[in-house]
Amino acid sequence: MRKILGWGAVALVTMVGTPIAQEATPHAANMASSHVLVNAADLKWGPPPPVFEQKGSSFALISGDPSQAGLYVVRLKMAAGYRIAPHWHPTDEHVTVLSGTFSIGMGETFDKSAMKDLPAGGYVLLPADMRHYAMAKTASVVQVHGMGPFM
């Protein structure tokens, strides 16, 4: 069981590595007075934070900064069969399935038979400290939002 860490690394990768949705991401201090308008075709996809398996996934920062206080929105694109190991977060996690079928399970042990499928349009709220795991049953894109810091 692990706590998902590394959202600070997202900001670091964004600043040092390939820019991720730079045009669409206002600075956190401007969130209250700025709007965010993002076209899917303009997203800058890059590697996910280091806590995720790198092969078979990519990541886009939509707005905010998950390592800082305040609202954040991110997307994770996954190949069919991509797994997210059991973990937990210190704040609520809101997950919306944008495409594909995403399966989620609760608990500290990955148990494929106990997972529930969420097709495109599905949503799950995972309260702070809830142990959970997931898998892309088909190629999938999920959007995650919540309040930071998310580590």
pLDDT in tens, 5-56: 444 434 333 333 333 333 444 444 444 567 889 999 999 999 998 888 889 9
Provide Rg for the chain, Cα atoms.
Answer: 15
Q: What is the pLDDT confidence band of residue 150, given thresholds at 50, 70 and 90?
A: confident
pLDDT (0 to 100) of residue 3:
53
Q: What is the pLDDT confidence band of residue 57, given thresholds at 50, 70 and 90?
A: very high
Question: Which residues are CB-contacts of 55 (< 8 A; sequence separation ≥ 6)?
Answer: none
Q: How far is Cα 141 from Cα 148, in angstroms, rounded to an integer?
A: 21
pLDDT (0 to 100) of residue 33:
60
Question: Which amino acid, 38?
Answer: V
pLDDT (0 to 100) of residue 11:
39
pLDDT (0 to 100) of residue 107:
97
pLDDT (0 to 100) of residue 1:
54
pTM here is 0.79
Would you state the torsion angle of the CA atoms of residues 131, 135, 141, 146, taken in this order, to the nearest 10 degrees?
Answer: 0
Q: How far is Cα 15 from Cα 5, in angstroms, rounded to an integer?
A: 18
pLDDT tens digit sequence for 70-119: 999 999 999 999 999 999 999 999 999 999 999 999 999 999 999 999 99
- Cα–Cα separations (whole angstroms), residue 68 to 29, 86, 96, 150: 11, 23, 21, 8
Question: Which amino acid, 7?
Answer: W
